[in-house]
Structure 1
Amino acid sequence: MTDGEHGTDGGPAPDEPVAVVPEEPPRRSRRWALWTALAAVVVLLACGLPAALLAGGQGSAGPGRPAVAAVDPATVVARQFAERIGAQLDRQSAALLRGDRAGWLAVAEPAVHAELGRRFTALRALRVTGWQARPDGLPTPVEGRPGEWRVMVEFRYCFAVPDCRTSPVLTATRWRDGTQPKLLAVEPSASRSAGTRPWEISDLVVAVGERTVVATTPALRKRLPDLLARAEAAARIADTYAVDGRTPDRYRIFHAGRTEWKRWYGGGRPKWTAGYAVTVGGGHHEVVLNADSLTETGLDDLLRHELTHAATMPEGGYPGARTWWLIEGVAEYAGVDGRPVDRYDGLADVRQLITGDWSGRLDRLAPAHNASADRVSGSYGLAYLAVQHLVDRFGTERLLAFFRSVAHEGRSLDEAADEVFDTPWSVLHDECVAYARSVAG
């Protein structure tokens, strides 16, 4: 079962104008200056400069004419400091990519070396292949601490695959001024970057396969070989559901212990969640598994379910609760992996949901965060049965075309059903619910 999330790819703050004062030109004869001025006027008129500005003269202020804004000296200082920070970040990025731990730490004060060293080890274990860093906006002075500045930094990362699109992480940092600024502190990433990444706050052990990167904590190290083998098998299934055939370059899977589950990507998941896929930008979706909720028999189904989310998820996340049944139904259908419908574990919970207080509408099927385990199981089961009916009637290829139309292209269910199935959605909706009733008994 999954709890869908998505992040925002924040960009850099726009550059602010900087005034450049030219050197004084050499003196010319009066006649030469006159011809130069006349030529300049002709050029300006040809370029369409407003006559009012020409009449007022350059930089003049008068009634109805704004003066040219002066550049704030503090802004100039902040921009210059941001450039020096950027140079330090470039040095640090290059050191990480070449595996130079000393170079990675060299930009920071000793007090932050332990934290940065842990990040370095985790990122190298994850096979970091892309890493860029830049200030996001201008630094601001730290009140009461002369020479110290705060600045948001955007880090962009990629794992295992050379030249892949990078995912952004926005982080608050603190620096000491100087010709070569020194990093004093780095905080876990901001919420706008989809929450704290595992490699920011945890020691990690990692296994890398042909299609997956699987990471967990040292305490759960013994599970890693089995997790990798199962993840590779699940990836082969999930690849077949990729919209337009564009499979993820590598599935990223993080196996969380009890403490990590509460911290990675912000924590705060519903108690019934065993795993989730979160959009992190750059076309990537990272999967997190709850070690405390995994069972030997359910792990393979869960991996297929979550990796199918990663294979089918739009870059910006899913469109909302009204299509929850379709998103989760497709993932659950992949998780079942062809087992007969009558062997689906949640049929009794589907029966209880249908005969209970459910409204009968698929667009109101999503369970609340505080829903009971039976209600959650019934919701996922009913979503699966609705998708199963569409596959039985139209086939997997047309189902995925319907999915793409709704989840990726933003069409309504009515529009997508008319286009893909040539059947009104109201008819298909009632068929899906009737099918679920008949199967659940």
Structure 2
Amino acid sequence: MRADVVAPLPVASTETVGLGSAVGAERPSRRIRPLGVVLVAAVLLLVCGLPAALVAGVVRTGAPPAPGSSAVPADDPATAVARRLGERMTAELARQSAALLGGDRAGFLAVAEPVAHPELRRRYAALRALRVAAWQAGASGLPTPVEGRPGEWRLLVEFRYCFVAPDCRTSRVLTGTRWREGERPRLLAVEPSRSAETGTRPWEVSQLVVAVGPRTLVATTPALRRKLPGLLAQAEAAARVADTYAVGGRPPDRYRIFYAGRDEWRRWYGGGRPEWTGGYAVTVGGGHHEVVLNADGLGAGGADDLLRHELTHAASLPERGYPGKGTWWLVEGLAEYAGADGEPVDRYAGLADVRRLLGGGWDGRLDSLSLSDDAPADRVSGSYGISYLAVRHLIDRFGPERLLAFFAAVVHERLPVERAAERVLGEAWSALHEECVGHVRAVVA
């Protein structure tokens, strides 16, 4: 079974974010194996916008900053109180961030009341296992009093992070925190983000064990620890393929891969994926996409082609999203081509479903191949297969470099496909489209 384009995650949002596409939030997905092996994924592509008011926090290392000046003259008394309290909270976050980066668990816990320590210990261990290399914490707006709890305040905090590579562009997550007021405010709770952009990150809610290679980081839960060595080897091999599809020749500093058990699949990044999804790549900002694999969806064949597919999304897609459903075939076709990794066309697993879809249920337009959440398995397989065969034909005709330039023009520059074809491929798209569809029909005839 597989997965495809869906609506935004059905979770409560702690932030307001603009979408990167006129058609809204989209999640392209992966190919499935026809005989019940779920080898498909979904790409959630949303814009990672910045909050309007970001109060400076700690960056990477060093002593926490001194609290800034108190209220500005225009503040009313209540706002002035909140502003001064927010400055003290920010100073505590700076101390905690420096402790995290310095490997000081006691210092990381010291800003919090004991009631928060179990959650913070788990979070600290997960982030250290992921080799957190940059961690910034800053207030987004002013703290607000918690109704019915005198002396307690809620502060929205933006965390920015890097794993392994300290100089990477940071990813971001916006999180609610709860504090007890005082000269040195005390942290009472850190909430899972429930972000509208991506949903809850694995390190926010799960214990993690991690393996790191030259190009990849692979994480899972302790119950699945035995899978890590094999997954890391597969991920490193897939990364070598995916690197060749990096638009502009700039692959990610590390591919981030999370291997989800049944409960984690339902929880990480908001859950709620179509039943046919075997994996997906989700943008988390800073040019990074984090890949999730469904442990229950992988059959005896393992994760090789799925990893190549998903890591190619991570290498090729822009962080702000792709233009819309009409380009789904190009996004998924390129990832399917990478997933196939040069195997002969007649070995592609979805040819029977391609033949079935050509026989009925499809209008013959590549821009109408995107899928609904409840699409049947044969429609999913057929749509991915047609996309793969169309992209493969364009690569056979023009070569991988020009195809990737065409992909960049359509998906990154957001040129209409007609203009991109004439500019990059030197031919009219109407003729190329008919040629691609004719090739697909010929392959399965």
Query: TM-score when scaled to structure 1?
Result: 0.87
CA RMSD of aligned residues (A): 1.5
2:299 to 295, 317, 323: 295
Match of 1:89? 93
Contact conserved, 2:72 with 2:80, CA < 8 A, in 1? no
Structure 1 residues 20, 395: closer, same or farther in 2, change over 3 A? closer
Structure 1 residues 337, 15: closer, same or farther in 2, change over 3 A? closer
How far apart are the structure 2 equivalents of 1:13 and 1:177? 25
Residue aligned with 1:415, SS: helix
1:9 to 38, 42, 48: 48
Match of 2:208? 204
Match of 2:142? 138
Contact conserved, 1:239 with 1:247, CA < 8 A, in 2? yes
Structure 1 residue 196: Cα displacement: 0.3
Structure 1 residues 177, 342: closer, same or farther in 2, change over 3 A? same
Contact conserved, 1:405 with 1:411, CA < 8 A, in 2? yes
Structure 1 residues 365, 295: closer, same or farther in 2, change over 3 A? same
Match of 1:317? 321
* Residue 233 (str. 1) matches residue 272 (str. 2): no
Q: What amino acid does structure 2 have at the position aligned with 1:180?
A: R
Correspondence 1:39-438 to 2 at 5 A: 70-438=74-442
Structure 1 residue 193: Cα displacement: 4.2
Structure 1 residue 110: Cα displacement: 0.5
Structure 1 residue 13: Cα displacement: 3.4
How far apart are the structure 1 equivalents of 2:412 and 2:360? 33
How far apart are the structure 2 equivalents of 1:205 and 1:414? 47
Q: What amino acid does structure 2 have at the position aligned with 1:3?
A: A
Residue by residue over 1:380-436, the C-alpha shift from the partner in whole angstroms, topping out at 9 and shown as x without a partner, is 010000001101110000000000000000101001001011111111111111111
How far apart are the structure 2 equivalents of 1:267 and 1:15? 29
For structure 1, the residue ranges without an aligned partner over 5 or more in a row are 22-69
How far apart are the structure 2 equivalents of 1:19 and 1:261? 45
Structure 1 residue 317: Cα displacement: 1.9
Match of 1:439? 443
How far apart are the structure 2 equivalents of 1:97 and 1:71? 35
Structure 1 residue 9: Cα displacement: 2.7
Structure 1 residue 78: Cα displacement: 0.9
Contact conserved, 1:152 with 1:172, CA < 8 A, in 2? yes
Contact conserved, 1:169 with 1:190, CA < 8 A, in 2? no
Residue aligned with 1:9, SS: coil
Structure 1 residue 18: Cα displacement: 8.0
How far apart are the structure 1 equivalents of 2:361 and 2:377? 16
Residue by residue over 1:51-73, the C-alpha shift from the partner in whole angstroms, topping out at 9 and shown as x without a partner, is xxxxxxxxxxxxxxxxxxx5311
Structure 1 residues 15, 99: closer, same or farther in 2, change over 3 A? closer
Match of 1:64? none
Structure 1 residues 116, 10: closer, same or farther in 2, change over 3 A? farther
Q: What amino acid does structure 2 have at the position aligned with 1:107?
A: V
Query: TM-score when scaled to structure 2?
Result: 0.86
Q: What amino acid does structure 1 have at the position aligned with 2:422?
A: D
How far apart are the structure 1 equivalents of 2:46 and 2:97? 23
Contact conserved, 1:11 with 1:136, CA < 8 A, in 2? no
How far apart are the structure 1 equivalents of 2:397 and 2:149? 69
Match of 1:59? none
Where do 4+ consecutive residues of structure 1 move more than 4 Å? 15-21
Which is higher, the Rg of structure 1 or of structure 2?
A: 1
Residue by residue over 1:189-241, the C-alpha shift from the partner in whole angstroms, topping out at 9 and shown as x without a partner, is 13234110000001111000000000011111111000000000000000011
Contact conserved, 1:99 with 1:124, CA < 8 A, in 2? yes
How far apart are the structure 2 equivalents of 1:430 and 1:281? 37
For structure 2, the residue ranges without an aligned partner over 5 or more in a row are 1-29, 31-40, 56-68
Residue aligned with 1:240, SS: helix
Q: What amino acid does structure 2 have at the position aligned with 1:9?
A: C
Contact conserved, 2:245 with 2:315, CA < 8 A, in 1? yes
Structure 1 residue 124: Cα displacement: 0.4
Contact conserved, 1:325 with 1:363, CA < 8 A, in 2? yes
Residue by residue over 1:358-395, the C-alpha shift from the partner in whole angstroms, topping out at 9 and shown as x without a partner, is 11111110111001111101110100000011011100
Residue aligned with 2:385, SS: helix
Point out the structure with the larger helix share: 1
How far apart are the structure 1 equivalents of 2:411 and 2:266? 29
Q: What amino acid does structure 2 have at the position aligned with 1:119?
A: R
Structure 1 residues 275, 83: closer, same or farther in 2, change over 3 A? same
Residue aligned with 2:219, SS: strand
